[in-house]
Structure 1
Amino acid sequence: MSTRTDAPTRREQILKEAARLFAERGFHGVGVDEIGAAVGISGPGLYRHFPGKDAMLAELLIGISERLLDGGRQRVEESDGDPEALLGALIDGHIDFALDDRPLITLHDRELDRLRDTDRKRVRQLQRQYVELWVAVVRRLYPAPPEAEARATVHAVFGLLNSTPHLGSASAGSRVLGRAEAESLLRRLAHGAFGALASAPASASVSASASASAE
């Protein structure tokens, strides 16, 4: 999540510009020379940092999956045990990513299948762990609905938050939402989606447990 305050390294600059160009024109529509020009070095000079475009793509998609998971784990570790506050922190962290790293969302949607099998499996593994981290928090806050419903809600919220690449284009006569407006809107929508679980019917296991306790 984009919380760095120190100056980016040359390698990070290359990755940032590669992500932007790949998202704008597609992986095969961008050459090494163009990426190099975007950071002020020759195309061949990029090979001192990466063996090629495939390696850049893999590092971008694996890297953002690792950052999201690490950020989620850090929020869990720093929480005071309040699941509502923790879910809010997870939502805010993902919103930061979704607003600050929009090209990576586009890149993931368009280019994930271009990764080698091992790299693509790594991305999927990291994403599953990230989902399960959220599911565990959501189930603590809303224990009544079935686990499958909680998991489906997490995926739905991710889809909602990851829609940010589409927030940047305005139709005639309309305007683009500012950062603060978009952040506030996404936060309300995410909390609203999870809040709907509060009125969901209890799962069979929870109902059975409650019945047994009443006897």
Structure 2
Amino acid sequence: MSDTRHLFITAAAKAFAEKGFYGASIASIAAESPFTKQALLHHFGNKEKLYAEVLKGISDRLMASLQDIQRDYPDTRQRLEQTFLSFYRQAVGNRDEMALLMRELLDNKRRAESAQAWYLKPFLDELTQMVMTVLPAYSRPRAFTLAYQMLGAIHYFAVSEPTLVQIFGREEYEKVLRGYEDELRDLIRARLGG
């Protein structure tokens, strides 16, 4: 990927995370880069295609992480646990990306009807299949529900940092942050029966 495209995608991810698809404009995204609006349009054509590139990048990173975990953890239960924990670490490490994913789920009513691709579907499908492998008695809908609940617990906490810091203060938030992964691991193990 060219440096120019990468800069645009980075600026777009931040803008879409902060303002959502409809709130972010091509002009505001271009203003956050050293290039012009015309250069952005030259590279992507329109806001929808730029947004798709941002989502595709997130999806590609999530799938690469899944592949790494599948290679490193042959035990299926441990692999699924590590997948959720890895997602948690990525979520806390990149809150803008997580906010963007949250907006994709919440702010997407109009766009959902005309979306050409769902870049997160392979990740969700793979996660659902992993749950079904660990818990073979689970139907696909039930396995998806479990996976989605875990992702939700992770996601919600990751994007809540600014609000939690304001409510409880930085020191208290840091204490919660230090213990969150252990609590999450316990929750995962309880749900997976291990």
Give the TM bin, normalised by the shorter chain.
0.7 to 0.9
1:1-215 superposed matches below 5 A: 9-79=3-73, 81-99=74-92, 100=94, 101-113=97-109, 114=111, 116-119=114-117, 122-123=118-119, 125-136=121-132, 138-139=134-135, 146-148=137-139, 150-163=143-156, 164-169=158-163, 170-172=165-167, 174-175=169-170, 177-178=173-174, 182=177, 184-197=178-191
Q: Deviations over 1:110-165 (max 9, x none)?
A: 3444253321xx335324323224314543xxx6xx41455432221110111111
Structure 1 stretches (4+) deviating beyond 6 angstroms? Answer: none
Does structure 2 retain, via aligned residues, the 8 Å contact 1:131–1:154? yes
SS in 1 for 2:44: coil
The change in CA–CA distance for 1:173 and 1:63 in structure 2 (over 3 A counts) is closer
RMSD of the TM alignment (CA)? 3.0
Q: List alignment gaps of at least 5 residues for structure 2.
A: none
Contact kept? 2:11, 2:32, Cα under 8 Å = yes
Using structure 1 for the length normalisation, give the TM-score. Answer: 0.70
* Cα offset, 1:181, TM superposition: 5.8
Q: Which amino acid aligns with 1:82?
A: D
Identity of aligned residues (%): 19
Deviation per CA, 1:50-109, whole angstroms, max 9, x where unpaired? 111111111222332232123212311232x23354234312321132121333223322
Q: Which has the larger radius of gyration?
A: 1
The amino acid of 2:115's aligned partner reads D
Equivalent residue number for residue 213 of structure 1 = none
Size of the alignment, in residue pairs? 184
Q: Give the direction of change, closer, same or farther, for the CA distance of 1:191–1:29 in structure 2 (3 Å limit).
A: same
Q: For residue 117 of structure 1, give the secondary structure of its aligned residue in structure 2.
A: coil
Q: The residue matched to 1:147 in structure 2 has which SS? A: coil
CA distance in 2, matches of 1:111, 1:61: 14
TM-score between both structures, scaled by the size of structure 2: 0.76
Quickly say closer, same or farther: Cα 1:156–1:197, change in 2 above 3 A: same
**Larger proportion of helix:** 2
Which blocks of at least 5 consecutive residues in structure 1 are unaligned? 1-6, 201-215
Q: Does the aligned pair in 1 maintain the 2:8–2:29 contact within 8 Å?
A: yes
